[in-house]
A and B are shown apart, each in its own frame.
Chain A
Amino acid sequence: MTFDGPDKDAEVVLRLSGVEAGYGRIRALNGIDLEVRRGQIVTLLGANGAGKTTTLKTISGLVRLTAGKVSFEGQDLAQMRASDIARLGVAHVPEGRRILRGLTVRENLELGAFTVRDAALRRSRMQEVFRLFPILDRRQHQDGSLLSGGEQQMLAMGRALMQGPKVLLLDEPSMGLAPKLVLDTMRIIKRLNQEGATILLVEQNARLALRLAHYGYVLEGGTIRMQGPAETLRADTSIVQAYLGD
């Protein structure tokens, strides 16, 4: 299955409208509106503390929203438990990868398919992950936390793919990786997308993210400051300098 590029009129799978959320009294999001269409890579850019990670956590239910609406395939996620949201097909690859220490690569992958009761399906998903990331196959019996940063990122993505997700939320996949591994990671994201995955990507490295994505949003202080097709954002040097740093 290959995609010839994003269909601009593809169905909106994920929609946030007027989303507000925070931690205790501190408000991190002040009304976020965004859309992700099937087959797209949408990137969320902005400085530290702009609310990128909180946006992802609000979608996946790890942070409760205080106002607004998150709808996924027409269903309202606002009052749902994170575990139920995951079961609907939203897979969150958290910041820092969060590989379980002391468990093997294989066991970490099995966690991803916890909700899949069909053993044959679990096996075929694992084969699929091993096809995408052959290094995980070779290291399947090693402690996942002893892998290199890049391998851990593959494991975190593989674990999310084991869920059989409809949308992947990726939080700073390039964080802490050597430059070459950053490029590898970006290539993997592109490939996942070409094979049909819908992706919402949070990145610090704006230039790279905009090269990969179809559409971008720039966050500042918990609100969307700017949005547009990735090539438009990329072409606007003032945006790059003002919001994305260099």
Chain B
Amino acid sequence: MTPRDTASDRLRDRIAARFESPALRWGGIGLILVLMAVLPAALGQYATVIMTNALLYVVLALGLNVVVGFAGLLDLGYAAFFAVGAYTIGILTLDFGVNFWLALPVAVLAAAIAGVIIGGPTLRLRSDYLAIVTLGFGEIVRFSARNLAITGKASGLSGIGQPWLFGWHIATPTDFYFVFCALAILAVVVSLRLENSRLGRAWLYVRHDEDVAEAMGINRVAVKLAAYVTGAIFAAIGGAFFAANLGAISPESFSFTQSVLILMAVILGGMGKIPGVILGAFIVILGPELLRNLGELRLMVFAVMLLLIMLFRPSGIWPKRGVRS
């Protein structure tokens, strides 16, 4: 269906080839870091807030990419783990007066346990079951948050404090922007390390053919569970800082649409490919912003754009480079 070597493929390969030279690659990374550092001063507060949101989505999309892109599992309720992270921070800091940095590992642990509870039984089944169960899990978490007293019911939690870090009070939008820069960089580094690890190769094999992988000595249930829990941990960390940044969270931040948006970032950019996923996260956040002057039409125009991208580049804007024959 799709031509194997389109102009954009060649462009992408050329860009990728540029970065294969170490000097240029480090130069490119340096340039990106400098741009990230000067952005708040250069573009002002509004752009900084939008970029902070985009960086949050980079973290979430890279986390979901471990599940969907690396291990090949379809997760339709990923926002649930994002919610677990955010609500754990909210409840622990507000109701129990726990310091943010102590609550953070608890949030991560809570998401990991939720991941094991949901993933443990479901990952033994074929992947379509996982999609259904995760969809249900996402809704259960949101409904619980909306109905339990401890999560503040429909109005959610507010007044979540802003953390201190070694005498630095993380308070202004610019402060949070830099925190999310650090988180996004961390997420990229961890993703790269995972991709090239032994576990990363096991994911690759299971994604391609789980029976063959199993027959070669790879325990597919354990390997998939590792991906699912890793994704949950990324989301919980994103959720924790999201709660601290906004100071208020409500069930509507963790809807099915949220899960779909994150999934869209992963698929749009090119599943499994880290630069593609980062690009996808920026597109789903910045796209509607850039189209803001279209008024009411903007979401429709954005939807049409997404459809066109999927039509012309079904494996994503920046997919994995195929093996040459």
A and B are interacting partners: yes
The answer to whether A115 and B216 touch across the interface, beta carbons within 8 angstroms, is yes
- The complex places the Cα of A146 from the Cα of B322 at a distance, in Å, of 12
Contact call B219/A83, Cβ cutoff below 8 A? yes
Q: Is B209 an interface residue (CB 8 A)?
A: yes
Instruction: Assess whether A98 is interfacial by the CB under 8 Å rule.
Output: yes
Please report which residues of chain A, range 31-81, place their CB below 8 angstroms from some CB of chain B when the two chains form the complex. Answer: 60-62, 81
Q: Which of A82, A91, A102 contacts B214 (CB 8 A)?
A: A82
**A205 close to B (CB within 8 Å):** no
Q: Is A100 an interface residue (CB 8 A)?
A: yes
User: Which residues from chain A contact B208 at a C-beta distance below 8 Å?
Assistant: 100-103
List the A side residues contacting B149 at CB < 8 Å.
none
**In chain B, residues 311-325, which have Cβ atoms closer than 8 Å to a Cβ of chain A?**
322-325
Q: Complex: how many Å from CA A58 to CA B201?
A: 26
- Assess whether A94 is interfacial by the CB under 8 Å rule: yes
Cα distance A94–B215 when bound, in Å?
9
Q: Is B180 an interface residue (CB 8 A)?
A: no
Report the minimal beta-carbon distance from A92 to chain B, rounded to whole angstroms.
5
CB-defined contacts of A61 to chain B, threshold 8 Å: 214
Q: How far is the CA of A100 from the CA of B205 in the complex (A)?
A: 8
Whether the pair A111, B211 counts as a contact (CB closer than 8 A) is: no
Cβ of A104 under 8 Å from chain B:
yes
Q: Which residues of A contact B325 (CB under 8 A)?
A: 142-143, 146
Given contacts A62-B211, A94-B211, contact A112 B323 (CB under 8 A): no
The residue in chain B whose Cβ has the minimal distance to the Cβ of A143 is B323
Chain B residues in 8 Å Cβ range of A98: 209, 211-212
Number of chain A residues close to chain B: CB under 8 A: 29
A91 to B211 alpha-carbon distance, docked (Å): 13
Report the bound CA distance from A225 to B164 in whole Å. 77
A146 contact set on B, CB distance < 8 A? 325
List chain A residues, Cβ under 8 A from B205: 100, 111, 114
Contact A62 B215 (CB under 8 A): yes
Closest CB of chain A to B195's CB: distance in Å?
14
Bound CA–CA A142/B322 (angstroms): 11
A92 to B204, CA, bound (A): 20
Asked if B22 lies at the interface with its beta carbon under 8 angstroms from chain A, I say no
Measured CA separation A143–B323 after assembly (Å): 6
In the complex, whether A163 has a CB less than 8 A from a CB of chain B is yes
Contact A92 B215 (CB under 8 A): yes
A110 to B202, CA, bound (A): 11
Q: Which residues does chain B contribute within 8 Å of A104, judged by CB atoms?
A: 323
List of B residues within 8 angstroms of A83 by Cβ: 214-220
Distance A64 CA – B325 CA, assembled complex (angstroms):
39
Question: Which of B205, B215, B322, B323 has the most A CB atoms < 10 Å from its CB?
Answer: B215
B222: nearest residue on chain A (CB-CB)? A83
Q: Is the CB of A86 within 8 A of B215?
A: yes
Docked pose: A81 CA to B323 CA in angstroms: 32
Q: Which of B209, B217, B323 contacts A114 (CB 8 A)?
A: B217
Question: CB of B213 within 8 A of chain A?
Answer: yes
A94 pairs with B220, CB closer than 8 A? no
Given A142-B323, A143-B323, A146-B325, also A100-B209 (CB < 8 A) = yes
Q: Which of B256-313 contact A (CB under 8 A)?
A: none
Most-contacted residue by chain B among A104, A111, A143 (CB, 10 A): A111
A207 within 8 A of partner (CB): no
Q: Does A234 contact B (CB under 8 A)?
A: no
The interface residues of chain B lying within 8 Å CB-to-CB of A110 are 201
CB distance from A191 to the nearest CB of B (A): 23
Q: Least Cβ distance of B215 to chain A in Å?
A: 5
Counting chain A CB atoms within 10 Å of each CB, which of B208, B217, B219, B322 scores highest?
B217
- 29 pairs of residues in contact across A and B, judged by CB atoms under 8 Å: A60-B215, A62-B215, A82-B215, A83-B215, A83-B216, A83-B217, A83-B219, A84-B217, A84-B219, A86-B215, A86-B216, A86-B217, A87-B217, A94-B215, A98-B212, A101-B208, A102-B322, A102-B323, A103-B323, A104-B323, A112-B216, A114-B217, A114-B218, A115-B217, A115-B218, A141-B324, A142-B324, A143-B325, A163-B216
Known: A83-B216, A86-B215, A100-B209. 13 other contacts (CB 8 A): A60-B215, A82-B215, A84-B219, A94-B211, A94-B212, A102-B323, A103-B204, A110-B201, A111-B205, A111-B212, A114-B202, A114-B213, A143-B323
Interface residues of B (CB under 8 A from A): 201-202, 204-205, 208-209, 211-220, 322-325
User: 10 shortest A-B CB distances, which residue pairs?
Assistant: A115-B217, A86-B217, A100-B208, A143-B323, A83-B219, A82-B214, A92-B215, A87-B217, A98-B212, A83-B217
